Amino acid sequence: MPRNTQILLASRPQGEATVDNFQLVVSETPPLQEGQVLVRHHYLSLDPYMRGRMNAGKSYAPPQPLGEVMIGATVGEVVESRHPDYAVGDQVVGMGGWQEYSVVDARQPGVLRKVDTRGACQTLGVESENVPQRGQFLSDSQSHSGAMGQEAGKKWAAAAHSQPTTPKSDRLQVPLSYYLGAVGMPGVTAWYGLVKIIAPKAGDTLVVSAATGAVGSAFAALAKARGCRVVGIAGGSEKCRYALDELGFDACIDYKLHQGDTQSLARALQQDCPQGIDGYFENVGGWIMDAVMLRMNAFSRMALCGMIAGYDGQPLPMRYPALILTQRMRLEGFIVSEHTDVWPQALQELAGLVASGKLRPRETIAQGIAAAPEAFLGMLKGKNLGKQLVKLF
Ligand SMILES: NC(=O)c1ccc[n+]([C@@H]2O[C@H](COP(=O)([O-])OP(=O)(O)OC[C@H]3O[C@@H](n4cnc5c(N)ncnc54)[C@H](OP(=O)(O)O)[C@@H]3O)[C@@H](O)[C@H]2O)c1
C-alpha cells in the first residue's frame, strides 16, 4: 500500500491562521477491507469555509477536530478496489481531505461519485435519491474530521459531485478539477444566492464582492445569462481586468484604491451603478458592505454568502442598518449545503455555461500536498485568481 502524506490541524489559530496551525505527517495506507476502495487524489479544493472550521466557536457546522486530517473536497482516481461498483481507474469525487490518498467505505451511499472526463462527454445532473435532505449535512458533520471513511460531509459530497442522469445528447464535457469549482459547490453557491434570494429581473443592476473568486466568477455568468448589469468588487487591477475581459462583468471596482473609505467606494459604485443597486451578493462584509448599502435601491435584495473580512475573528459592525428599513431591503444568509434540492438544476445550468464558453473559470493551482497550508492562507488574503486548488498527482 502507498505511503500517504497528510496535513492535520495541529492547533487552533489565535487571530490570523499561520502555517504553524498545520502539521504534515506521512503514514502507510491500511490494507483495504471488504467494500472499501483506495482513492488517489488528483486535486484538493481549498475553500474559505475551512478557516471557520479551524476555530472552536459556535457556527453552522462543528469545528475541525485537532490532530485529524483537514476537511476538504477532492477529485481523484480509484487505484485499488474491494467494491464491485468501483474499478481501478474510475474517476471519483468526494470529501477526501488534505491528503494524497483516502480509504473510502464505498458501501455508504453517495460517499463517492464517479465522473468520466476522458470520454467524449459528461453530464452533471444529480440523482434525486442521492441528494441529502435539508439539514442532513449538518447532523452528519457532527463527527466531521475531513478524512474519507468517516461520516463527515459525505452527503454533501454526494450532492456536490454526482452521477449523470440526463440524455446522452445533453452531455457536456467538463475537466475534472471543475467539479470542485464552477460546476461544484462554489458554482451552486452563486446560483442559490442569485436565483433564490436576489431573484433578479432582466435589467436589474447586481453587485458581487470577491468578484473574481470561485463563487464570484460563477455569479457573473449566471447573472449575465439573466440579462442583468453586473458590477464586481475585487482587489487589484489585474483581477478587475480579468473580470472585464474574461468573466463578462460590465464594470469592476478595485476596492484597494479606496483604502477602507466607505464614502469613496460608494461614489465609485454610484458611477458604475447609475440606476442604483437592485441585488447584492455579499462575500466579504465590513466597510465594503457598508458602501454597497448606501447605493441599494428600494426593495433591493442582499444574499449574505460570506464575510471573509471577519474570518480571523475581527468584528464587522454594520454602519447603516437603518437603510434596511428605509429602503425596505431584504437580507438573507444561506448555507449552500442546506439547499440540496436545487443542486441538480444549478449544476446543469453551470455546466451549460462552461460548455458554451460563457463561464470561463480560472484556477490557481499549488503543487503538492505540502503546499496546501501556504496556498490556503494565500487564498484567504486574495492571492488566488479564480478557484484555489492543490494538484496532488
Ligand atoms: N454560504 C455558503 O454556503 C458559502 C459557500 C461557499 C463559499 N462561501 C463564501 O463565499 C465567499 C467566496 O468564496 P470563494 O470560494 O469564491 O473564495 P474566493 O473568492 O475564490 O477567495 C476568497 C477571496 O476573498 C477576497 N478577500 C479576502 N479577504 C478580503 C477582505 N478583507 N476584503 C475584501 N476581499 C477579501 C479575496 O479576493 P480579492 O483579492 O478580490 O479581495 C480572495 O481572493 C467566501 O466568503 C466564502 O466563505 C459561502
> What was the pLDDT predicted at 113?
86
User: Has residue 343 been placed in a domain?
Assistant: no
Whether 86 and 73 share a structural domain: yes
Helices (H), the chain: 49-53, 136-140, 154-160, 185-192, 214-225, 237-245, 262-272, 287-293, 322-326, 343-355, 372-380
Whether 162 and 221 share a structural domain: no
Taken as a whole, the chain contains a residue count of 393
Q: Is this structure's pTM higher than 0.85? A: yes
Contacts of 128 (CB under 8 A, 6+ apart): 344
User: Has residue 344 been placed in a domain?
Assistant: no
> What was the pLDDT predicted at 14?
95
Domain CATH number, residue 249 = 3.40.50.720
- For residues 312, 50, 252, 217, the Cα torsion angle rounded to the nearest 10 degrees is -170
Q: Nearest residue CA, atom 37 of ligand 1?
A: 382
Q: Nearest residue CA, atom 26 of ligand 1?
A: 382
User: Has residue 352 been placed in a domain?
Assistant: no
* Percent of the residues in the chain that have a pLDDT greater than 70, as a whole number: 86
Whether 112 and 212 share a structural domain: no
Q: What are phi and psi of 165, to 5 degrees?
A: -135, -10
pLDDT tens digit string along 364-374? 999 999 999 99
Distance of CA 335 to the CA centre of its chain: 11
> What was the pLDDT predicted at 146?
29
Distance 27 CA to ligand 1 centre (A): 33
Neighbours of 199 (CB within 10 A): 14
Best residue among 308, 359, 376, 388 to mutate for probing ligand 1, ranked by most atoms within 8 Å of CB: 308
pLDDT higher than 90, residue 135: no
Total structural domains in the chain? 2
Which atom of ligand 1 lies closest to the CA of 214? Answer: 16
Helices (H), 226-342: 237-245, 262-272, 287-293, 322-326
Give the burial class of 381: count Cβ atoms within 10 A of its Cβ; 0-12 exposed, 13-18 middle, 19 or more buried: exposed
Whether 233 and 121 share a structural domain: no
When pLDDT is cut at 50, 70 and 90, the band that residue 151 belongs to is very low
Q: Indicate if ligand 1 lies below 6 Å from the C-beta of 54.
A: no
pLDDT higher than 80, residue 157: no
Domain finish residue from 336, 353, 371: 336
DSSP code string of 98-134: SBSEEEEETTSTTSSEEE--SSS-------GGGSPPT
Q: Indicate if ligand 1 lies below 6 Å from the C-beta of 195.
A: no
Cell of 163: 452521477
Q: Indicate if ligand 1 lies below 6 Å from the C-beta of 382.
A: yes
Average of pLDDT values for 376-386?
97
> What was the pLDDT predicted at 291?
98
Whether 139 and 7 share a structural domain: yes
pLDDT tens digit string along 169-208? 345 678 999 999 999 999 999 999 999 999 999 999 999 9
Nearest to 364 by CA among 257, 217, 156, 265: 217
Q: Indicate if ligand 1 lies below 6 Å from the C-beta of 132.
A: no
> What was the pLDDT predicted at 1?
81
When pLDDT is cut at 50, 70 and 90, the band that residue 297 belongs to is very high
Which atom of ligand 1 lies closest to the CA of 234? Answer: 40
> What was the pLDDT predicted at 164?
31
Distance 213 CA to ligand 1 centre (A): 7
pLDDT tens digit string along 58-79? 888 999 999 999 999 999 999 9
Whether 7 and 81 share a structural domain: yes
Q: Indicate if ligand 1 lies below 6 Å from the C-beta of 189.
A: yes
Average pLDDT of the chain, as a whole number: 88
Neighbours of 119 (CB within 10 A): 8
For residue 232, the enclosing domain spans 185-336
Which atom of ligand 1 lies closest to the CA of 334? Answer: 1
> What was the pLDDT predicted at 172?
62
Strand 229-234 versus strand 205-209 pairing type: parallel
When pLDDT is cut at 50, 70 and 90, the band that residue 148 belongs to is very low
Which atom of ligand 1 lies closest to the CA of 388? Answer: 20
User: Has residue 246 been placed in a domain?
Assistant: yes
pLDDT higher than 50, residue 363: yes
> What was the pLDDT predicted at 253?
98
Distance 368 CA to ligand 1 centre (A): 23
pLDDT tens digit string along 341-353? 999 999 999 999 9
